[in-house]
Structure 1
Amino acid sequence: MSERRPRGVFAGLATLDVVHRVAVAPAANEKVTATAQFVAAGGPAANAAVTFAALGGQATLVTALGSSPVAQTIAAELRGVGVEVVDVDPGHAGLAPVSSVVVIEGTGDRSVVGGDAADRQAPAPSPELVGSLLDGVDVVLVDGHHPEVSVAVAHAAQASGIRVVVDAGRWKPAMADVLPAASDVVASADFRMPGAGSSEETAARLVADRVPVVVVTDGPAPIRWWQGGERGEVPAQAVDAVDTLAAGDVFHGAYAFAAASGLAVPAIVAYASKVAAVRCTMVGPRSWLPAIAEVPLA
């Protein structure tokens, strides 16, 4: 009998990413020729779901897309890499979110311009739909985009005793309603609670608010974690980065996969760091998927 695959539900943003790889960023009123171009689905929750699926899990993305050609392209691309897509707003005729991405060849640094669906009022999924999606699920990740979706899924998962990972890349209005449902907050060093002046103050407030697990990533710096009165650091995996697009999202997807597999927090963080590092060594939004599956879980 084969081993059961971890199951994860990912709630939040899916976009169409148009990626340009260039030697140097264009200056004002300047045109540059890309050395490579890619088109793939993106967005924090979507990228985390893609990672979870590539690592061997069963991933379901709950998002808002609609009926436009762009929406259909996003959904088809995600299904092509093993992610089940549940669209809570299939009748929406407007343009689905599109992001323009520039990746610098020499450093792997990326810049992103996108609407993040900030003007999209996606409806909350029905309790019946959420309940069916969460049946047998090991972990949920929410990114705070599409607030009605993120909040509904996070609180239903909490009520069902499912681990809820919050991708806290930056503060969004929905975070105030999402954070009380969190079992794990995985934050970037740029994330700030309202009124907090630093990453350290933000982490301290999350711990004081009794978030069970708090993790803070900071690029190549050590990854800090807090759990149950204990705290520690895990060195970030060192690599020569050639493409950092979605590296944080990949970390979150790998974190969710390891959490669903029952590892302790330091081991979860170490594994997620290794997976994200592998992503940074490969050019393009999908080239790294086979390689991360080779990273040992323990």
Structure 2
Amino acid sequence: MPDVLFAGLTTIDIQYFVDQFPGSNQKIKSASPAILVGGPAANAAAAYAFLKGNATILTAIGRNPFRKTILKDFGSLNIGAIDFIEDEEQEAVLATVITSSNGDRAIVSHHPDDHSARSIDFGNFLEQLNPSIIMIDGFYPTMTLELCQEAKRREVTVVFDGGSWKTHLDELIPLLDIVICSADFMPPGCSTHSEVIDFFQAHGIKRIAISRGEHSILFSEEGDIKEIPVGKRLVIDSLGAGDFLHGAFCYYWHKGLDFEASLRASSEFASATCSYKGTRTCFSELIQSEFV
């Protein structure tokens, strides 16, 4: 039985490392790119599994040339994988990542199709898995909405990773318990981070946090907005850091830490991953016992 069910997007990331971002009409050369398994839900599950958590991912992979690569990655990290379109021919979601020498990155990708989980009865599904927490990234709206509706009926905590506003989120927001979104997440009518927090509080969500890269994390828990400073570390690559923050938060929250303490611990972990290239090297280099 998993502690946490991660539901959402898995991608194939093709990552190039360059000295600086290319300008208009400029061609640059780099070393061979790294080909990695990525995506918000997949990376969050990877962080959770690294921290000795029992993770399962519910995602759409389908039949394509990258299927074995994705399943091998999940297997190597001890992540249970459920592909809800396993019998369908489907192109992998690809992301091209350009990472500069200061750790900044630019990403070109596309939204996946909205696959429904026709083969899943979510009542029986959650009865069998019995997760304590479900973390969603908002992709695959039809599947996600059905999953969260059942989670609400069963009083399973739903943690939302908000990367950017999506039109279907109006239906999803009443089903959320904890929101951790990026600085770019702006619901309609919001232009500041305090307005984002007010927006979620108005929808009855008590615990909200906003990650802001190297800047402090803003958070609120039924009250005023507070800040958590982000530790200063050598930044080689920030790809996946936000996803790792979400996965680590689920680990510390599941362990019983309070909201602020969970955010602090997960921020420290996410910052540490930025000292390594790519989204998987950190798991072989970091000392697990320092974070567990």
TM-score, length-normalised on structure 2? Answer: 0.93
Please list, as runs of the form range in 1=range in 2, the aligned pairs for 1:113-128 lying within 5 A after superposition: 113-117=108-112, 119-124=113-118, 125-128=120-123
| Cα distance change, pair 292–12 in 1 and its aligned pair in 2 (3 A) | farther
Deviation at residue 133 of structure 1 after TM alignment: 5.2
* Deviation for aligned residue 1:77: 1.8
1:246 aligns with 2:246: no
Task: Confirm or deny: 8 A CA contact 2:114 2:141 kept in the other structure.
Answer: no
2:55 maps to which of 32, 37, 59: 59
Q: 1:192 to 1:246 in 2, by over 3 A?
A: same
Residues 6 and 266 (structure 1 numbering): CA distance in 2 closer, same or farther, change over 3 Å? Answer: farther
Alignment of 1:213-224 (within 5 A): 213-224=207-218
Q: Kindly indicate whether the alpha-carbon contact (under 8 Å) linking 1:237 and 1:277 is maintained by their aligned counterparts in 2.
A: yes
Aligned to 2:227, the other structure's residue is in SS state: strand
Written as runs of structure 1 = structure 2, the 5 A alignment for 1:1-298 is 7-35=3-31, 37-105=33-101, 107-117=102-112, 119-124=113-118, 125-128=120-123, 130-132=125-127, 134-135=129-130, 137-290=131-284, 291=286, 293-297=288-292
What is the identity, as a one-letter code, of the residue corresponding to 1:169? G
Q: Distance in 2 between matches of 1:20 and 1:262?
A: 39
More displaced, 236-245 or 220-229? 220-229
Contact preservation (8 Å) 1:275, 1:295: no
CA shift at 1:262, angstroms? 0.9
Count of residues paired in the alignment: 290
**How far does the alpha carbon of each residue in 1:213-249 deviate from its partner, in whole angstroms, 9 at most, with x for none?**
1111112222121113354221112212110001110
Per-residue deviation, 1:288: 0.6
**C-alpha separation between the residues in 2 aligned to 1:129 and 1:42?**
29
For residues 36 and 270 of structure 1, the distance between their equivalents in structure 2, rounded to whole angstroms, comes to 36
- State the AA in 2 paired with 1:269: L
Q: Which runs of 5+ in 1 are unaligned?
A: none
Please say if residues 23 and 35 of structure 1, whose CA atoms lie closer than 8 Å, have aligned partners that are also in contact. Answer: no
CA distance in 2, matches of 1:16, 1:133: 29
Q: Deviations over 1:254-290 (max 9, x none)?
A: 1111111110111001011001101111112211114
SS of residue paired to 1:294: helix
Contact 2:9 2:139 in 1 (8 A): yes
Alpha-carbon distance in structure 1 between the residues aligned to 2:141 and 2:50? 27
Letter in 2 for 1:85: A
1:292 and 1:8 mapped to 2: Cα distance?
22
Q: Is the partner of 1:90 in helix, strand or coil?
A: coil
Q: TM-score, normalised by structure 1?
A: 0.91
Q: 1:16 to 1:129 in 2, by over 3 A?
A: farther
Q: Is the 8 A contact 2:216 2:227 kept in 1?
A: yes
Partner of 1:69, secondary structure, is coil
Q: Secondary structure at the match of 1:92?
A: coil
> What amino acid is the match of 2:264?
A
